[in-house]
Structure 1
Amino acid sequence: MDDLQVRHAMSIDDAYVVERVLARGERGITELVTLDGAGPFVRKRMPHAAARRMVWAALAECSSPYLPRVQATYDMPDEFVAVYDFVAGETLSDVMNRRGKLSLDEVADIVAAVFNAASDLHAHHVVHADIAPSNIIVAADGAHLIDFDIARMTYDAPASGEQTWGTYGFAAPEQHGFAPIDTRSDIYAIGRLAGYLLVGTLLDERTYEAALRCTGLVPEAVCSVLGRACAFEPSARFQTADALASAFADAVRGEASDMGPEDSSEMPSSISAATSRHAADVAEKPPLSTDDAGRTELSGAETGHASSKSSHMSSATRRMLVGVLAVVVVVLGALGFWMLGGRAQDSGTDAHDDASPVATATDDLSGFSDAPDELGGSALPESSEPASEEAQACLKIVDSGWSVDAAGYINYGVAIQNTSEDLTIEFPAYTITGRSEDGSILYSDTQALSVIYPGETRYFGSIAGNGNAPATVEFATVAPYEWAVSTAAGRPSTFDIAHLSAVSNGIGGTSITGEVTMTSKGNDAEGASNIELTLIARNDSGSIVYGADAFITMPAEGAATPFEIFCYDLPSYSSFEIYAQPW
């Protein structure tokens, strides 16, 4: 910039009055500003190296009412600056924290706006890459998509070392390095978003459609649409936001959608007509309102399209669904739930403790809300009342630990024990809360397991967080509902795990290998086709420092099969354990 350009830019910059700083980070400073009494506006100041000028230029050409309306962009000597309209409202994350889950009609309204915004972005060759509840503002006129920090043009080549991870639990697999990202990455995120809003929790990505169906909260047609939207392979997803919008709107109305292949080369050229059609369908619904606390309230019933059927699905039938029930919060395709299997010391012998199904080894490598009414159904349970005090008190966190990886996420392990002598609890859940040094909450996730029998302890190890490294992490059980508690019936499967070893996988990580044998097939294996294996690593003092998991095909009873669990950012440890359960 020459002197004249600098003076001109500074005169524009100085004309704005900063009312307050909204956010500050490595990608720049976000401020609330006014100009000669007009506004307020949002001013985003970005270092030149982090600024994507073409994204902001394309955004200025977009006409969707659910995207930021860019008022000005200009260069400063060390920064690129964008100014756009401020949208008053509450983040969708805050709405979910208050509400837990939303009705189908409410979700349809929200995603209709998101479809509209995404379709317009994609028509201008922009990938948002971070569609998530924290980046959606629920305002009086609908849901607005914000935060373009990692947005990119579809033709942008990724820079070396560039992070395009997005938000944990919503980012598409390719955003973790499996393949280049494109507009179909946003399709995946919208599919995950819709499911999260409907059930109130993040479900396992690997069995997403089945997990949605398992909750009993989502109509069959919607499960099918969202399942396709979140296919691992981008070519298997809906190829445009228009196509997903049309299929989702049809599913909400209970109409059959054309789920056939699409022309993957076709890009939307305008804001989705299907989205506009759905918006017309819901135009007569009561508008959003603001309560006395200034929070935006959504219209419609919270329970969604629930069937009036009152018969409960039997406990045995629910356990047949354990193999496809998903746990919450999935990153890198490595989340799940498991139960305790057989125990062995990796010392060249096969000694086992039948009461503790886990294999251990030593090494020194330094370096939900509601249950389903019937299979595939959408009815709510008869009672959503909390279980008795006795049942609530029987779930205990008996072991936990964690470490932070290079990206700021935590790798954790936790053990839940059912201290009851006669109560079986289905879908036991717990929360993971990360706090900063000053005690403020950075994130709070909820995880759910399948079933826990009397006297049983279950370990879970996985990844959690949002990229902000916590100072402390808290684990706490969630009180079960009345319908999830029953008198003990059935028995868990048991496993032997042997021949454990830890080796370098040749790409900067460690592989834990071994062999698992199903010694006894229990009730929890009904309907399951895989085994989930969970790694818990401990330090010299016996504290958990790392958790991870993997899946293999379930062998026949009495048969053995080998396995390998990949670990990255594995901290120094002195021993590890492997747990197994049907899945």
Structure 2
Amino acid sequence: MQTMHAMMLDDAYHVEQVLASGPYGVTELVTLDGTGPFVRKKIPLQFARRRLWSTIAECHSPRLPHIEATYELPDWFVVVYDYVQGVTLEQRIVEDGRLSAHAVTRIGLQLCEAVGELHRCGIVHRDITPANIIMAADGAHLIDFGIAREQDDAGGAPRSHDTTTLGTWGFAAPEQYGFAATDARSDVYAIGCVLGFLLTGVQPSDKPRYEQLLADSDVVDPRLRAIVNQACAFEPSTRPQNAEALYRLLSSTSAAMMVADEAGVSHGSKMRHIHRRALIWIATVLVAVLVAAGGVSGYMLMHRNVNTVSQTDSGAQSSAGNNVDKHNDDVSSDSPSTSGNGEKTLQGNPVALTESGWSAPTGYVEYALALHNTDTEHAVQFPQVTVTGKSADGSVMFSHTQVFAIVYAGETAYFSGQAGNGEKPTSVEFNVEKPSADDLLDTGGDESFVVRNEKKHDIDFGGTTFSGEVVCERDNDNGKGVYTDDIGVTLVLRDKQGRIVYGRSTNVTKPALGGAKAFSIETYDLPQYVSYELYGHSY
């Protein structure tokens, strides 16, 4: 009866086009009673992987195939899923050439979303290539699961290495050639190769040209190059350990590039201002010369004077590692003064680091920190904190400067981030950089958000989700100082002494005044902690 029902269903589909045909099956474009189109894959029974497709059907991501039906015929196992209209990334690059850094970052984040959901369901794709990524109106979609496998192989013994060479040359990780067993890190490698291809427009298999272009800072943003090189490390343990970790790196870099773009616009405005001042000065000199001819002499020259202050103080240790906080001593003169020409100058550093903490459960430093704006009249935009990891002998292992959004006048705001190179440091230092006077804003008010209905629950593969609603409590900044329509929610974990040991953030659409937006933060590999806090803040 099941076979008869399957045959009737199979006959109900109308074949619009045969997309591919070979010894491993037939792929067709079909419709059903005027609905569709759908993709129908007919797989010979000896190659059928029923459990894999059943697991894919349980994945919930708009960037993965939505399975409409599976059924079995006498000679075929059949899978029907939604058809995605678009072109492959490979076609896109061939037609349009390499993509911008922002476009590549956006696609990378979308791929991490899709692959992260596969990994959550225990599936390794193993063939992530530009030819298997469809670019649709809503972004990237991952297809073709021909060589995907479940990580636990239906309960079999763990593999020491993959015995069959599979994958696409130039994108397949080294372990896919028999060096080791494939896992989530193999897909991270492939995503890194895809990013490199999109940035250079050259296939990674064309090694000399690819490496030359990837190393060219005029072609590839150095921050993205570092991510590509890290994701494509030969040794799996030195790569980001899963798609979520790679997502965080890309997200942080994307935010930094946006800040740099904003700064470029600000710099352009500043230069236009300087040019205007130069014209005014020239006009003033000309007038002075003309007036001098009538018996009046003298003129005033104006100049700009900007002071800089460098401050470093040591803080206490965190239970998660040596945590050296850099506070600011000089907060008595942190408000801007006015020079003779009416421009603001900054004497001290108004941004103070009030607490911080970190852990490195996977080798990468996961940190949270609180920044307090001691200026009670001005908001500080784009505060910067340099995170430096050191080994036991005091040598620097990494140094990374993170740019955050805004800290309103008199406010303390919590932020989080990730840093490092995959090797756990012995100590981590947090240094607050001094902002420029141009980064002080007269916002005329501020925004504030509170989190309510916080919940925490365990999920598969040892993960934990923290969720709730973020409510807009105050919004009176008159539209100034907010640079996107999103707000951030920061998770802070603390140990039994109340010290920060972990941080993680997510973004949600900014709710209207008095309104609320739901959020969730999915985490894995957490350190030991006894309490958690959630903070909402302008992004």
State the TM-score bracket (shorter-chain normalisation): 0.3 to 0.5
Higher relative contact order (CA 8 A, sep 6+): 1
* Higher Rg: 2
- Return the TM-score normalized by structure 1: 0.43
- Return the TM-score normalized by structure 2: 0.47
